[in-house]
Amino acid sequence: MSLYPAYRATVQRTPRQPLIFLPHTLSEVTGPVYGRNAVAATDHDLTRQHPGEPLGERIIVKGQVLDDGGRPVPETLVEIWQANAAGRYFHQKDDHPAPMDPNFTGAGRALTDANGFYEFVTIKPGAYPWGNHENAWRPAHIHFSLFGPAFATRLVTQMYFPGDPLSAYDPIFQSIPDERARQRLISKFDLEITQPAWALGFRFDIVLRGSEATPFEG
């Protein structure tokens, strides 16, 4: 993450000394290997991981993982985590006074198929306060993590929703200086993905490298 004073955490995270090159060890450039058997049938569907239905607006998030040449990236592990519909994470350190949902943990994973596509079924997350500045609220978002062949190749980003008025006030979103790059973090409503009378669909493609790369967290 580059220094962006309005996002207070970057003041502590940004290096103050020149970077030092450290060669990767064998354990960093090999494994872990994720086979299809390691991803359960319900891992991609965050609405089916508990006995009851979670509260909130059901959505489908689908997209394609691509390299800088527009080629699909198959067999890539995609993980997501998010707040529930009330804007609260299933985590002991989240003390936001919003209700917990016993039927929603807010974490899922999927492998991209042979054409680089992934799909998740989940609940649209709510906004929540986060204390970065006076009256600070994070827009609705879903965290994405992508694994290549090793932990050293892990990439993390966030997906936002179209038309969210909070995006203009969010230092994390605004810390990306290029407006076109910021727009690549916003999903697109997709009627083809939408399931009639069941769930709205959103498309979120992820480009790993190149001039059109999805912005990732440092």
CA 67 to chain centre: 18
C-beta separation of 45 from 195 below 8 A:
no
Q: Give catalytic status of residue 182 as yes or no.
A: no
CA atoms of 11 and 97, how far apart (whole Å): 28
Distance from CA of residue 194 to its chain's centroid? Answer: 20
Q: Which of 88, 118, 141, 160 is flagged as catalytic? A: 141
Return the number of other C-beta atoms located less than 10 Å from residue 3's C-beta: 12
Q: Please say if 141 is a catalytic residue.
A: yes
> Tokens in use for 22?
């450290």
From 44, 118, 138, 160, active-site residue: 138
Catalytic annotation on 118?
no
Catalytic pick among 58, 143, 184, 203: 143
Tell me the H-state helices in 73-206.
Answer: 171-174, 179-183
Contact between 120 and 107 under an 8 Å Cβ cutoff? The reply is no
Single out the catalytic residue among 89, 109, 118, 160: 89
Catalytic annotation on 143?
yes
Active-site annotation, residues: 89, 128, 138, 141, 143
